[in-house]
Amino acid sequence: MEIKRGEAKKLIVEKLSKKFGAREATWMARILLEDKYTLLDEIQVAAIDKDCTQLEADYPIQYLVGKTFFYEGYFKVNQYVLIPRPETEELVHKVLQDISSKECSVFEVGVGSGCISISLAKNRPHWKISAIDISHEAIEVAKFNNKQYGTGVDIFQCDFLETKNWNTLPNCDCIISNPPYIKYSDEIDLSVVKHEPMHALYAMHKNHLVFYEMLAMYMRTKNVKLGYFELNANEAEKIKDLFSFANAEIIYDLQQKPRILKVVNH
C-alpha cells in the first residue's frame, strides 16, 4: 500500500518525537524523505521504519542517508569518517576570508571526508591543495567526494605522527587540520562515541595533544607560514602555548567558544 510523503513525515515525527523532541524529529523526517517521491511504496515505508529504529538507537542520520551538507555542498560520509560539523565550516570560511591571493599551496592533515580541502578547492580553484589521512577507508571517501566535485585535491595515505614520512609530504604556504583531540575522560554525545571513527576522535596516544605538538614541529621544520587548526575548546590556551615560536591567535566561533587557532610563522 502506498502512502503520501506528508503521511510518512507525520509517522516519522510521531515515532521520533519521544526521544528527540518534535523539532529535531521534524528535521530528521525531512532528511529521511529528501530524495523520496510524493508517494512511497511498502518497501520504502518499511525501510523508513527501520531507519527510525536505528535512529532511536543513536545511529547518526548522516550515516543512514550516506551524506551530509557542508559549506555549500553535499559530501558522502560513512562510518569511516567524522561527520562534518558546522563549527568546521567556520574554519573553512576563515581561511577563505584571510587568504585572497590567487596562488596558494595548502596541506591538510587528517582529510576525513575531504570536506575542508574540497570546499577550499571549490572556492579557490587555482590553489594547490594536498591532503593526507592514516585511514585507507577515509581516503576512499575523500577521493569519491573529490571526484564528485572535480576539485583535483591531491589525496593520499600517510601517518603524520611518523616524522620519517615528512620528507614525502609537500611544501606548503598553509597547513590546516581538525586533528583528533578528545581525551578519553571527556564526555561527548553517545551517538558520536558509539558510531564515529575512534581514530578521528581520540589521539589514540597517552598524550591527547600529540597532533598539535607535531603540527607545531612541522610548521617549524618546514617553515610553513600559516596554520589553521580546529581547537579542543577546553584546552585552547594550552594548545596556543605549543606555538609560542610564532604569532598564535585564538578565534571564537558563533557560540563564543574558542574554536580555531590561527598561527602566523614569521
Please report, for the domain that includes residue 126, its CATH number: 3.40.50.150
Q: 134 lies in a domain?
A: yes
126 inside domain: yes
33 lies in the same domain as 138: no
13 lies in some domain: yes
Identify the DSSP state of 167.
G
Q: Is residue 64 part of a domain?
A: no
Could you tell me if 47 and 90 lie in one domain?
A: no
Residue 204 falls within a domain, yes or no?
yes
- pLDDT value of residue 190: 47
Strand 247-252 to 258-264 pairing: antiparallel
Q: Which residues are 133's β-sheet partners? A: 157
- Per-residue model confidence as pLDDT tens digits over 64-114: 999 999 998 999 999 999 899 888 999 999 999 999 888 999 999 999 999
More confident residue, 189 or 240: 240
* 5 confidence band (pLDDT: 50, 70, 90): confident
Residues 6+ apart with CB under 8 A from 201: 82, 180, 182, 188, 192, 193
Are residue 124 and residue 223 in the same domain, yes or no? yes
Closest by Cα among 259, 134, 142 to 199: 134
Do 148 and 34 fall within a single domain?
A: no
Give the model confidence (pLDDT) of 133-179 as tens digits.
999 999 999 999 999 999 999 999 999 999 999 999 999 999 999 99
Q: Are residues 86 and 142 in the same domain?
A: yes
Angle among Cα 64, 55, 61 to the nearest 5 degrees reads: 35
The total of structural domains in the chain comes to 2
Whether 114 and 244 map to the same domain: the answer is yes
- Taking the whole predicted model, whether its pTM rises above 0.75 is answered as yes
The cell for 106 is 595548502
Write out the H or E segment, with its range, that includes residue 129.
Answer: strand 128-133
- Do 85 and 196 have their domain in common? yes
Grid cell for residue 73: 555542498
Q: Nearest-CA neighbor of 175 among 140, 216, 137, 207?
A: 216
Whether 71 is covered by a domain: the verdict is no
Has residue 248 been placed in a domain? yes
Mean pLDDT across 189-204: 52
The answer on 106 and 147 residing in a single domain is yes
Is the domain of 26 the same as that of 87? no
Structural domain span for residue 94:
79-264
Q: Are residue 233 and residue 120 in the same domain, yes or no?
A: yes
Q: Does residue 138 form part of some domain?
A: yes
Judge if 40 and 96 occupy the same domain. Answer: no
Domain identity same for 20 and 150: no
